[in-house]
Amino acid sequence: MNVHQTSWRAGRGLRRIALATIALFAAPSFAMAAPPAPTNVEASDVTGDSGGQAIVTWSAPANAADITGFQVWRSETSGETAARNASERTAALAAAEAQAFENEQKRLVDVEGLSPEEAAPQSRAVARQAAIGLARTPDALTVTETGPHGTHWLLVDTVSPNVDSLVVSKLDPTTSYTFIVYSVAPDASGRPERSAASEPSNAVEPVAAVLNLYRLPLLIILLALCGVVLLFILLARRGMPLKIRTIAGLAAVDEAVGRATEMGRPMLYINGIQDMDDLQTVAGVTVLGRVAKTAAEYDAKIEVPTSRSLVMSAARETVQASYLTAGRSDSYNPDLIYYVTDEQFGFTAYVSGLIVRDRPAACFYMGAFFAESLILAETGNSVGAIQIAGTAMPSQLPFFVAACDYTLIGEEFFAASAYLSGQPDQLGSLKGQDLGKILVGVVLIVLVTLATIAAVTGSEQIESLVSTIKTVILGG
Amino acid sequence: MSRQAIGLIVVLLLFVGLLVVRAGIGKGMGRVYSERESVAMVQVEIPILDVVEGEAKGTVGTESVWVPAASDDAVDFASADSPRVEWETTTPIKPGTYFQDPSNAAFELDWPRTIGIWVAALFTLAIFSFLYKDNAIYKIAESVVVGVSAGYAMVIGFWDMLVPNLLGKLVPMFVQTHFIPGMTDTSVNWLYIIPAVFGILLLMRLAPKGQWLSLWALAFIVGTTAAIRMVGYIEGDFLSQINATVMPIYQVVEGANGSVDVYSTIWASIRQFILLIGVLACLTYFFFSVEHKGVVGGVARVGIWFLMITFGAAFGFTVMGRIALLAARFEFLFDDWLWLIDPTNQRTIPDAVAVLGM
Amino acid sequence: MLKRNVPLLITGLIGVFLIVANFFPSLSAMSEDFTVFFGIIAAMAFVLGGGSLLKVHLKKISDRNAGWAYSLIVLGTFAITLAVGLLKIGVPPNPGFPDKPWSGSVNADGTAFEWIYEYALKPLSATMFAMLAFYIASAAFRAFRAKNIEAILLLGTAFIILLGRTFAGYYLTGWIPIDGPFSGLRIEELSVYIMQVFNTAGSRAIIIGIALGIASTSLKILMGLDRSYLGGGN
């Protein structure tokens, strides 16, 4: 055996060892190749909604044990494509212009010996021409799409591996979309690696339905609440006896007006600082009508500085009508209802000064208030006025409760006008509100009991029932 | 002269005296410095680099743009008869910057702003004087704030609401030409005739026999309010609050190792139960049909206790915020006006250069 | 008849349209326009408010009532602010369109209108706001003479919450062990429980009540049962 033969044999052995080693190292990477893509990607419009939503479904690939999630991507709208192309073109032109400027500047400064400041205008002109020329060269700036299936896609969301559908929202209801899905799995080194893109889904246009069925429960609840109130109004008209409990603040209105008449001092009525687009202001105007009627009967002076022009107009209408009803239309003075200023603290400064100077016997604060509530109530306290407040601003109720003699809390304020009118229609509506509260109480007790049973026993059916009710009906 | 008048005069003289002393010590007080700059803009035609749709082959479109007179575009394209507009701006600078370089021609004492600081300080003190008692100085400040704020609201209402939203929708070309040149949508939106009509109806109040027409505008507004608020409150407040209260009373709390922490679970469940009882008790308080007597009365009592705790919590929460407002006012008086404190280093001369020693 | 019924009809029709529009996606875009409509009408109503302001103060001046000089100040500052703002006096043009003198923003830096806002309106309003610190103290002092259990609850809770946000409160109860059975009595924990349980319960009930009140009031308005704002009870 000659040396070459020996070395060839040895070499064959070495090659075998080398092959085996390569195979050993290659095997894991073959086994850990990119995960398989999902299949059967389908898209459909979400029906009965207000538009812009589509559902994407897919089938997880077989042998997908190590998949850690799926990525859903959508196609671009033509507007997005145009915007992206435009910005890429602009960037490319700007880069070309900058490069041309640099080259020309270098040439002028280094070769022709000009100073940079002298060379700059000419370089700019040359750079502009270069960009102009580039823009007009056909296909020089055309963007080639390198995304899957030859188009550009945008990532929507990543979901967990046991999910096979996704609701995509915030889409344009007038555009057609397609979707692709990727699988994600860790590679050999543990980093997430994406599969190839799935086949694109069918095109779908996420149109708006004629009627938004998702809001149907809200409509039903609205109709139920209104129906309940209407029912009691009708029953009241038919002569059903109505008993309403005494609300201290409202029973005190007569007392306050009487006091003002006795002391010969005016009453002050503040309708809040918001405009007629706040229902508290409208409710305040209604209560003003009732208080003004009592004031007209007692011949007391009621002054109404307002913070908004529209509120002034509405208040004047109300008070004029009240004086007319009380048979005192000649005592009505429209100048006692006037506009001060829109600005919160300008109004507060004025009213504080007014309270301290005129020393009203009674102050009414009925409507929407913000931070100035305490200033007004405390100033009224300092002159010894009887103060009755009513508001549905939860943040200001503490201050009125602390500083006023009587406070109508939230719903009591909305009940005030009904209460003060004493009419069956109005009182019937209060009973309707009470039934609404009973319904709320019953619903709360039932649902909380169910939820507790579900939590204690672990029953999945009861839990899904409760959560369905919460999501669909209670909007959560 | 009454004792009170003498007392007031003494206080006033003391006050003025202290101010004079403060103004004389150190760098003085209550001044604002600014840098005067001149802004010059020139209108030039610059070529549009990219291809514009529909342009003829071989042409390059141009667009008319206003650029600063010192910019490259102006140097390249402005000619002697290019339209040119110039105006001056004054930008406030820190007093420290001025003190470091008082001979800089662009830096100057800004008289309007300096007078403004003094006016603002005096107004602040005037409003605070109301805490002692109502007085002429407070009345002056009150009159100023009423007049200024009423005017301010009307100006903002005109320029920020009527011009873009009414005139901009009904006569867009006029508005774009004169007031909002950057407006892009110049088509007439006829829907906005509706508020124009109702607004005019509202102004009929001023006409002797036209008052009844203004009621139509009020009816429109109140109808809009009632409808929007009804749906808004039922959806946003009513249902969402019920939703949030529907939680199981049995609240499981898990410890660090995943096992159930019995003690915390009991307390969490008790808290959830108290929450539910509280909501129901407070709702009972708001019941109108039944007098607060007997069982209902007892539950309503519990309800009002819950409400009082709620109000107390809100009260306690806001105290700090209000004190912070007062602190802000004092900071204005002592920092910006009297120059007695300098928390943000407005008046220290930057000596970083000295520190670097380069 | 017509005078009374047309406004009620307008209210009812607009109201029903807007409620229904919530449920039909094609109409809901229009209901957003209605919110802007309100802003426009409110801005046009400024004419009425301004007119009322002028009338009240001019009357005081002409009758030489007590304090007529202050009415002079009100009208003077009002007129100056209106003139400076509406005529955009001293407003530089928009830097993007310098050839359009009216294009600048009325409250840009350095304008007279901005001066009025910065050195008159802002300090006056902010100081008025800051006075709340004194008023809140006086309210607390007066209510400290608590006579009934409700007042005690209100003040006690206010005190606990206030202390819980200061260092003093933290040190006061800092000795209670955090892991023990009484950890809930530490003031910062107590504050949290009060907010999470009692405050939440009360707030929820108030808000539910308010929502019911609003639904009922809106219904009465839209049905025409509540029409005092139109000048008339029944």
Residue numbers in A near B50 (CB within 8 A): 89-90, 93, 135
Whether residue B242 contacts residue C208, with contact meaning beta carbons closer than 8 Å, is answered with: yes
Domain end residue (candidates: A136, A152, A183):
A136
Segment A296-310, tens digit of pLDDT: 999 999 999 999 999
Name the closest residue on chain A to residue C39, using Cα atoms: A277
Interface of C with B in 102-121 (CB under 8 A): 102-103, 106-107, 109-110, 113, 115-121
Whether residue B264 contacts residue B242, with contact meaning beta carbons closer than 8 Å, is answered with: no
Look at residue C85 and tell me if it is in a domain: no
| A245, A415, A441 ranked by CB distance to B290: nearest | A245
Confidence of residue C82 (pLDDT cuts 50, 70, 90): very high
pLDDT at A3: 44
How many contacts, defined by CB atoms under 8 Å, are there between A and B? 193
pLDDT at B352: 57
What does the mean pLDDT of chain A come to? 89
Q: How far off is chain B from C95, nearest CA to CA, in Å?
A: 8
A283 shares a domain with A396: yes
- Alpha-carbon gap, residue A298 to A316, rounded angstroms: 19
Q: Does C22 touch chain B (CB under 8 A)?
A: yes
Segment B82-110, tens digit of pLDDT: 999 999 889 999 999 999 888 989 999 99
- Which site among A286, A372, A406 would you substitute to test the C interface, given the most C Cβ atoms closer than 10 Å to its Cβ? A286
Which of A385, A382, A396 lies closest to A303 in space, CA to CA?
A: A385
pLDDT at B51: 83
Q: Does B75 touch chain A (CB under 8 A)?
A: yes
pLDDT at B142: 96
Domain residues for A233? 214-239+428-472
Look at residue C64 and tell me if it is in a domain: no
Confidence of residue A14 (pLDDT cuts 50, 70, 90): low
Which of C231, B151, C132 lies closest to A285 in space, CA to CA?
A: C231
A326 shares a domain with A376: yes
pLDDT at B358: 41
| C48, C55, C209 ranked by CB distance to A410: nearest | C209
User: How much of chain B, in percent, has pLDDT values that exceed 70?
Assistant: 97
pLDDT tops 90 at residue C228: no
Name the closest residue on chain C to residue B230, using Cα atoms: C215
Look at residue C140 and tell me if it is in a domain: yes
Segment A31-54, tens digit of pLDDT: 457 888 898 999 999 998 888 999
A403 shares a domain with A289: yes
In sequence order, what are the beta bridge partners of A194? A184
Q: Does C233 touch chain B (CB under 8 A)?
A: no
pLDDT at B354: 46
Pairing between strand A337-339 and A386-391? unpaired
A435 shares a domain with A418: no
Higher pLDDT among residues B211 and C180, named by residue: B211
- Alpha-carbon gap, residue C96 to C99, rounded angstroms: 9
User: How much of chain C, in percent, has pLDDT values that exceed 70?
Assistant: 97
Which of A264, A310, A328 lies closest to B225 in space, CA to CA?
A: A310
Segment A449-470, tens digit of pLDDT: 999 999 989 889 998 999 999 9
Q: How many CB atoms lie within 10 A of CB C54?
A: 14
pLDDT at A20: 53
Whether residue C184 contacts residue B267, with contact meaning beta carbons closer than 8 Å, is answered with: yes
Whether residue A27 contacts residue A20, with contact meaning beta carbons closer than 8 Å, is answered with: no
Name the closest residue on chain B to residue A225, using Cα atoms: B234
Confidence of residue C101 (pLDDT cuts 50, 70, 90): confident
Pairwise CB contact (< 8 Å): A345 & C23? no
Residue numbers in B near C92 (CB within 8 A): 39, 87, 89
Q: How many domains does chain A have?
A: 3
What does the mean pLDDT of chain B come to? 90
Domain residues for C206? 134-230
Pairing between strand B33-47 and A165-168? unpaired
A252 shares a domain with A108: no
The ranges assigned to domains in chain B are: 37-49+59-89, 190-245, 274-334
Q: How far off is chain A from C160, nearest CA to CA, in Å?
A: 15
Interface of B with C in 227-246 (CB under 8 A): 227-231, 233-234, 237-238, 241-242, 244-245
Segment B175-221, tens digit of pLDDT: 999 999 888 888 999 999 999 999 999 999 888 888 888 999 999 99
| A221, A353, A470 ranked by CB distance to B142: nearest | A353
Type of residue found at A368: A
- Alpha-carbon gap, residue C27 to C23, rounded angstroms: 8
Residue numbers in C near A222 (CB within 8 A): 19, 215
pLDDT at B162: 94
What CATH number has the domain bearing residue A304? 3.40.50
Residue numbers in A near B239 (CB within 8 A): 218, 221, 473-476
Higher pLDDT among residues B357 and A48, named by residue: A48
| B138, B153, B291 ranked by CB distance to A341: nearest | B153
A410 shares a domain with A334: yes
Continuous segment of H or E residues that includes residue A59: strand A54-59
| C44, C151, C153 ranked by CB distance to B309: nearest | C153
Find the mean pLDDT for residues C116-124. Answer: 95
pLDDT tops 50 at residue A165: yes
Residue numbers in A near C131 (CB within 8 A): 375
Residue numbers in C near B83 (CB within 8 A): 99
Q: How far off is chain C from A175, nearest CA to CA, in Å?
A: 16
Q: Does B340 touch chain A (CB under 8 A)?
A: no
Q: What are phi and psi of C188, to 5 degrees?
A: -75, -30
Q: How far off is chain B from A167, nearest CA to CA, in Å?
A: 23
Distance from the Cα of residue B97 to its chain's centroid: 29
Domain end residue (candidates: A136, A164, A180):
A136
pLDDT at A476: 58
pLDDT tops 50 at residue A2: no
Residue numbers in C near B263 (CB within 8 A): 181
Residue numbers in A near C140 (CB within 8 A): 402
A279 shares a domain with A402: yes
Q: How many domains does chain C have?
A: 1
pLDDT at A23: 52
Q: What are phi and psi of B39, to 5 degrees?
A: -105, 125
Among the ranges given (A184-188, B34-38, C203-207), the one the predictor scored with the smallest mean pLDDT: A184-188
Look at residue A346 and tell me if it is in a domain: yes
User: How much of chain B, in percent, has pLDDT values that exceed 90?
Assistant: 59
For chain A, how many residues are written? 476
Look at residue C1 and tell me if it is in a domain: no
A316 shares a domain with A380: yes
Residue numbers in B near C221 (CB within 8 A): 222-223, 226
What own/partner pairs with CB < 8 Å and gap ≥ 24 does A425-428 have? A425/A233, A425/A236, A425/A237, A425/C225, A426/C220, A426/C225, A426/C226, A427/A236, A427/A242, A427/A244, A428/A229, A428/A232, A428/A233, A428/A234, A428/A235, A428/A236, A428/A237, A428/A240, A428/A242
Find the mean pLDDT for residues A351-364. Answer: 96
Pairwise CB contact (< 8 Å): A411 & C210? yes
Look at residue C153 and tell me if it is in a domain: yes
- Alpha-carbon gap, residue B194 to C17, rounded angstroms: 15
Look at residue C59 and tell me if it is in a domain: no
- Alpha-carbon gap, residue A202 to A45, rounded angstroms: 11
* pTM of the entire predicted model: 0.88
A433 shares a domain with A409: no
Residue numbers in C near A233 (CB within 8 A): 225
Q: Does B243 touch chain A (CB under 8 A)?
A: yes
| Rounded alpha-carbon distances, angstroms, from residue C107 to B151, B164, C61, C113 | 13, 16, 32, 6
pLDDT at C121: 95
pLDDT at A30: 46
